[in-house]
């Protein structure tokens, strides 16, 4: 089912995934208009999109998704919303009200705008972290949408993403102003990597400061299955096509789907090494300290930061929940997305790895220069 002639809204359009999705839409679908919604416009990314837009109109909506009037304006006359924008925070460094406002309130305002403005399809970008892992570090290996898992979420990020996902799925079947029905679905990607991944850049910077040795924060056996950003964009396109198809709409609507690909399962730390070993980086053989001792240190740091909170906001670089996430085997299958959405990874592991390494190689000199300059200033 083609999206030809449709008007779509992409929130977070200049982010890591959002920009990649817009580029894919321009390359594969002759849409009437794509509306780029973001709080901050990045001119160099916009120019790249303008260079490949063909006959599709690109409209820029710069603003805050917590602004109801702004959101309604962005959705007016649209038929599809890809809601990607969110605050990603795994260290709880951002105030709860800010994270909740963007991740939950922003999603709710978008859903309400869809109903008021007769937008028929809504695809929500969720995350694997709405599933866990739980504080006990219980593993899931090759899980599915039917996997039952006992988890009380700890991160503000994962809790707000979970609530936003639930609101999205509950809105499926809501009656629009014109009498039509809203169809929604949610995609849960694994850890997303690829060109532009700020987490990979951050780990590379840490490795440079550590004399080209990457820190090991994950046990080798704590395997996860990251997913390439290009394949996540393809999954979003397939979801939109599916929601437009009358025969698939009721099957997909109101459901969530795990999105992974054929990237080999490996620990987070070892994945960093796989990407950066060709650039001359090594990795620590063992964790810096025994895992249990790290938990104790994190616990003490959390107590100290809580005591100091009335006077100063200090965010420790590591907390117990993050340590659990980094050291819990947690992998999922994309079989149901294949069955219902028609999704299949477009980029092989070899291609995804090559593209990511080439991008990291291009960033390496700039990162070394930036760190060297900071050292001089300090």
Residue 318 Cα to chain centre, angstroms: 20
Residue with tokens 């993050």, as numbered in its chain: 322
Residue with tokens 């994270």, as numbered in its chain: 99
> Under 8 Å CB-to-CB from 103, ≥6 apart: which residues?
86, 87, 157, 160, 161, 163, 164
Q: How open is the CA angle 279-281-282, to the nearest 5 degrees?
A: 145
Q: CA quadruple 86, 90, 91, 95: dihedral positive or negative? A: positive
The DSSP symbol for 174 reads: P
Domain covering 7-198+225-265+331-347 assigned CATH 3.30.70.100 in the classification: no
**Residues above pLDDT 90, as percent of the chain:** 78
Q: What are the pLDDT digits (tens) for 133-157?
A: 998 999 999 999 999 998 888 889 9
In the chain, count H helices and then E strands: 14, 13
Q: Could you tell me which of 94, 106, 145 has the C-alpha nearest to residue 12?
A: 106
Q: How far apart are CA 6 and CA 79, in angstroms?
A: 6
- Exposure letters 63-80 (e unless 16+ CB within 10 A, then b): eebeeeebbbbbbeebbb
Q: What are the pLDDT digits (tens) for 87-111?
A: 998 888 888 899 999 999 999 999 9
Q: How far apart are CA 290 and CA 42, in angstroms?
A: 43
Please tell me the predicted confidence (pLDDT) of residue 29.
87
* 157, 193, 228, 257: the active-site residue: 157
Residue 248 Cα to chain centre, angstroms: 25
299-305 own/partner pairs: CB under 8 Å, 24+ apart? none
Domain ranges of the chain: 7-198+225-265+331-347
Q: What are the pLDDT digits (tens) for 279-337?
A: 999 999 999 899 999 999 999 988 888 888 888 888 888 889 999 999 999 999 999 99
Based on C-alpha coordinates, what's the Rg of the chain? 21
Please tell me the predicted confidence (pLDDT) of residue 306.
83
Please tell me the predicted confidence (pLDDT) of residue 42.
86
**SS3 label, residue 90:** coil
Could you give the angle at which helices 68-75 and 106-117 cross, rounded to 10 degrees?
50
Beta bridge partners of 143: 332
Q: CB of 240 within 8 A of CB of 9?
A: no
pLDDT-based confidence at 122, cuts 50/70/90? very high
Q: What are the pLDDT digits (tens) for 31-77?
A: 899 999 999 888 888 888 887 777 888 999 999 999 999 999 999 99
Please indicate whether residue 257 is annotated as part of the active site. Answer: no
Please tell me the predicted confidence (pLDDT) of residue 308.
82
Q: How far apart are CA 179 and CA 170, in angstroms?
A: 18
Please tell me the predicted confidence (pLDDT) of residue 39.
93
Token code pair at residue 345: 């990874």
Distances from the Cα of 179 to the Cαs of 37, 116, 185, 252, 368, in angstroms? Answer: 27, 11, 20, 21, 58
Distances from the Cα of 110 to the Cαs of 98, 195, 233, 257, in angstroms? Answer: 17, 28, 20, 21
User: Residue 375 pLDDT > 80, yes or no?
Assistant: no
Q: CB of 6 within 8 A of CB of 35?
A: no
As a whole number, mean pLDDT of residues 196-203 equals 94
Please tell me the predicted confidence (pLDDT) of residue 309.
81
> Under 8 Å CB-to-CB from 99, ≥6 apart: which residues?
87, 89, 156, 157, 160
More confident: 313 or 221: 221
């Amino acid at each position: 089912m083609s999206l030809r002639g449709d008007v779509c809204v992409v929130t977070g359009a200049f982010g890591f995934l959002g920009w990649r999705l817009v580029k894919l839409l321009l390359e594969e679908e002759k849409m009437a208009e794509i509306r780029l919604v973001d709080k901050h416009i990045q001119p160099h990314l916009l120019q790249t999109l303008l260079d490949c837009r063909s006959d599709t109109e690109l409209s820029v909506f710069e603003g805050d998704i917590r602004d109801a009037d702004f959101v309604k304006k962005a959705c007016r006359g649209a038929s599809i919303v890809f809601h990607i924008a969110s605050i990603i925070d795994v260290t709880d460094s951002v105030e709860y009200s800010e994270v909740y406002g963007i991740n939950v309130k922003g999603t709710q305002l978008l859903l309400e705008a869809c109903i008021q403005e007769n937008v028929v399809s809504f695809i929500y970008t969720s995350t694997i972290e709405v599933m866990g892992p739980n504080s006990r570090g219980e593993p899931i290996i090759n899980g599915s949408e039917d996997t039952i898992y006992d988890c009380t979420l700890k991160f503000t990020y994962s809790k707000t993403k979970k609530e936003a996902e639930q609101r999205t799925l509950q809105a499926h079947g809501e009656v629009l102003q014109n009498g039509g029905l809203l169809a929604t679905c949610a995609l849960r990607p694994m850890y997303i990597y690829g060109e532009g991944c700020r987490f990979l850049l951050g780990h590379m910077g840490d490795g440079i400061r550590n004399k080209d040795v990457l820190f090991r924060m994950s046990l080798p056996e704590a395997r996860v299955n990251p997913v390439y950003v290009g394949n996540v964009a393809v999954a979003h396109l397939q979801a939109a096509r599916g929601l437009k198809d009358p025969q698939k709409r009721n099957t997909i609507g109101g459901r969530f789907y795990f999105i992974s690909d054929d990237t080999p399962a490996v620990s987070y730390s070892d994945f960093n090494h796989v990407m950066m070993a060709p650039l001359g980086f090594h990795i620590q053989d063992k964790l810096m300290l025994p895992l249990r001792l790290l938990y104790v240190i994190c616990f003490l740091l959390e107590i100290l930061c809580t005591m100091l909170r009335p006077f100063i906001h200090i965010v420790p670089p590591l907390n117990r929940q993050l340590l659990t996430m980094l050291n819990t085997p947690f992998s999922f299958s994309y079989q149901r997305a294949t069955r219902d959405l028609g999704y299949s990874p477009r980029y092989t592991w070899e291609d995804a790895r090559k593209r990511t390494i080439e991008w990291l190689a291009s960033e390496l000199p700039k990162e070394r220069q930036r760190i060297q300059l900071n050292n001089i200033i300090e």
